[in-house]
Amino acid sequence: MSVEQFDPATQVVAVHPAAIEHFRRQLAQREDASAVRLSVKPSGCSGYMYVLDFVNEQQEGDLDYQLAADVKLLVDRGSLPIVTGTEIDFVREGINRQVKFINPNAKSECGCGESFNVS
């Protein structure tokens, strides 16, 4: 499996081709969104959860990555210490399909998979 458009010197998150295609399909269905925004928020029993929003404008300080001609990823600057080095994929597990985060900073996850801990 390859990761497209990832340069660890300049980009903090790697996005697999399947995730880019998933984001492309999601953006095409929305008239009010032109980008995908990644952030984290305190949540759950383990500490943090990933948040993917489909947005039309970036927030102040967001990092901006053009993944494809029609797919832009915005990364919340405040989330950088937690998400740096993360790979984003779109996978099939059984009959389910989901966005999967492979984060080298995550030390543990809660049993339901909703939240993770970095300490």
Chosen CATH of 13-112 out of 2.60.300.12, 1.10.10.10, 3.30.379.10, 2.60.130.10: 2.60.300.12
Whole-structure pTM value: 0.84
Q: Which residue has the higher pLDDT, 37 or 108?
A: 37
| Domain chopping of the chain, boundaries | 13-112
Give the residue among 89, 90, 42 at the shortest CA–CA distance from 103: 89
Cα–Cα distance measured from residue 78 to residue 17, given in angstroms and rounded to the nearest whole number:
26
**pLDDT per residue as tens digits for the range 71-96:** 999 999 999 999 999 999 999 988 99
What is the chain's percent helix, strand, coil content, to nearest 5? 15, 45, 40
Report pLDDT for 14: 94
